[in-house]
Amino acid sequence: MSVRKFPSGKWQARYTDPEGLRRSLGTYQTKQAAERALREVLQDIDRGTWELTRDSFRAAQEGKALTLDQVAERYRKLGTRGGKALSPRTLGEYERYLARDLMELQHSPIRSITRQQIESWWIEYGDTRSVLRQRVYSHLKSVMRYASDSGFIAENPCKIRGAGSVQTRVPEVIATKAEAAHILEVSPPKLKALFAIALWGGLRKGELLELRRKDLEQLDQLGYTISIQRAVVWLPKGLIQVREPKWSSRRKVGLPGAISEVILSHLKAMGTIDPEALLFPYQNDFSEHYPNHALNRLWEKIRKETGYKGSIHSLRHSPGLATE
């Protein structure tokens, strides 16, 4: 073990590890600091805990060659939510954060990104889309925390005070009884049952459009019970995926008798009892899911006609209003 002084005045600490390899502990401002670092490594070797020091050294060496987007890719591959791998939609959104919102940092070496750079990015992003800015920052902070925990960087540079407390949810617009009735009135016949179920059952859009004939069960004089077991997710490039409902929220929902006539009329119009037939297909073969963009265009027309300001998702927060 030894220390040596550079022309710059800094001191380098070097040692030979138990594997016989010559290693550097980096440079220090004073000789005393370099010698203290060497003593700590010697203690690790004596205690038999040097493996941790070695692994930290290797991670730090690896961190020198990694860029932000490379570390973010590792984070995405390892990420889970509720014990399950992240959904394709979430992964795609994280990729867009890097390519669209963090473009100036995307290809920077992970160890070169400073707190000041991140603060400058935050300021320059502005307040016009504060919700998106908060989400991007939260993701960046998580990636940096992963990099710090992995030993690629010494500490997380995301330290903006209060950045994580920005409002991230927009209050839902609850439909009034009159608005709910108007929505059903102007809905196209083939989707009237969809909006009736949305208003009463509290289903998400992806759950509504993955409903199949087998998921609907009629009860004597009491309406219908609907089983939510799956949801459709729209991915980039027109792709879709059918998976379990968000947050694994498989459930059964009772629908009131007041909308039974709407549902029964819809089932008769379908003209099929195939249990796998989609309740709300895009085409008549009952196998093609209604495109997200097509439903959104239709919903905009309904909003203009009714004056309702909420989204389709907002309808799930207004259960029962259509039948009061």
- What count of Cα atoms within 13 Å lies in the side-chain half-sphere of residue 125? 23
**pTM value > 0.95:** no
Give the pLDDT confidence score for residue 34 in this predicted structure.
Answer: 86
Give the pLDDT confidence score for residue 116 in this predicted structure.
Answer: 94
Question: Is residue 10 located within the same domain as residue 52?
Answer: yes
Between 184 and 164, the higher pLDDT residue: 184
Give the pLDDT confidence score for residue 42 in this predicted structure.
Answer: 83
Give the pLDDT confidence score for residue 322 in this predicted structure.
Answer: 45
Residue 188 has pLDDT above 50, yes or no: yes
- pLDDT (tens digit, 9 = 90+) per residue, 45-77? 787 766 545 545 565 566 678 899 999 999 998
- pLDDT (tens digit, 9 = 90+) per residue, 205-251? 999 999 999 999 987 666 899 999 999 988 877 788 898 888 778 99
- What count of Cα atoms within 13 Å lies in the side-chain half-sphere of residue 78? 11
- Whether 171 is in a domain gets the answer no
Phi, psi (degrees; rounded to nearest 5) at 93: -65, -40
Question: Is residue 258 located within the same domain as residue 293?
Answer: yes
- pLDDT (tens digit, 9 = 90+) per residue, 243-285? 888 877 899 999 988 889 999 999 999 999 999 999 999 987 8
Decide which of 165, 200, 232 is a domain's last residue: 165
Q: What angle do CA 254, 258, 263 make, to 5 degrees?
A: 75
Query: Which tokens belong to 287?
Result: 């196998």
- Whether 121 is in a domain gets the answer yes
Decide which of 58, 87, 106 is a domain's last residue: 58
- Whether 170 is in a domain gets the answer no
Q: Which of 5-19, 265-279, 293-307 shows the lowest mean pLDDT across its residues?
A: 5-19
- Whether 63 is in a domain gets the answer no
Question: Is residue 312 located within the same domain as residue 239?
Answer: yes
CATH number at residue 111: 1.10.150.130
Give the pLDDT confidence score for residue 125 in this predicted structure.
Answer: 86
Which residue type does 44 have? D
- Whether 186 is in a domain gets the answer yes
Domain span at residue 144? 68-165
Q: Which of 100-109, 219-228, 306-315 shows the lowest mean pLDDT across its residues?
A: 219-228
Decide which of 13, 30, 58 is a domain's last residue: 58
Mean of the pLDDT values across residues 97-124? 92
Give the pLDDT confidence score for residue 145 in this predicted structure.
Answer: 92
Question: Is residue 127 located within the same domain as residue 252?
Answer: no
Q: Which of 2-11, 184-193, 313-322 shows the lowest mean pLDDT across its residues?
A: 313-322
Give me the chain's average pLDDT, please.
Answer: 85
Give the pLDDT confidence score for residue 269 in this predicted structure.
Answer: 94
Q: What's the structural domain count of the chain? A: 3
Question: Is residue 48 located within the same domain as residue 72?
Answer: no
Query: Which tokens belong to 245?
Result: 């409902």
Number of CB atoms found within 10 A of residue 144's CB: 24
Give the pLDDT confidence score for residue 118 in this predicted structure.
Answer: 95
Mean of the pLDDT values across residues 180-189? 94
Give the pLDDT confidence score for residue 129 in this predicted structure.
Answer: 61
Give the pLDDT confidence score for residue 18 in this predicted structure.
Answer: 76
The pairing of strands 80-81 and 22-28 is unpaired
Query: Which tokens belong to 228?
Result: 């939510």
Question: Is residue 130 located within the same domain as residue 187?
Answer: no
Q: How confident is the model at residue 20 (pLDDT cuts 50, 70, 90)?
A: confident
The dihedral sign for the CA sequence 72, 73, 78, 84: positive
Residue 324 has pLDDT above 50, yes or no: no
